Amino acid sequence: MDNTIKAWLFDILNSINEIESYFLDTPKLFEVYQNDLRTKRAVERNIEIIGEAMSRILKEDKDIQISNSRKIVDVRNRIIHGYDSVSDDVIWGM
């Protein structure tokens, strides 16, 4: 596997771990997430990173099979380009 792709996969893993870290000291409940603007923005940013890295991986190697990769990229695009239509339900459902 190409080192560039490995770097993007590492970025994805780091972003996933960062999202998980937001819920170490608080319950992982939708209502808690919904009422915490800082956490919401931080989660959205990490989803943007995950989606961008996924998009780059798919462009670099079309043979790579990653579950839900298209959905991940689509959610990233919705956050970036349709910021006014992003709902907490969509983000929480990721």
Domains of the chain: which residue ranges? 3-92
Q: What is the mean pLDDT of each run of 10 residues along the chain (94 residues)?
A: 94 97 92 94 96 96 91 92 85 84
DSSP letters spanning 18-63: HHHHTTSSS---HHHHHT-HHHHHHHHHHHHHHHHHHHHHHHH-TT
User: Which tokens in the block code for residue 6?
Assistant: 């490995």
pLDDT of the residue at 68: 92
Angle between helices 69-81 and 37-60 (to 10 degrees): 130
Give the pLDDT of residue 84. Answer: 83
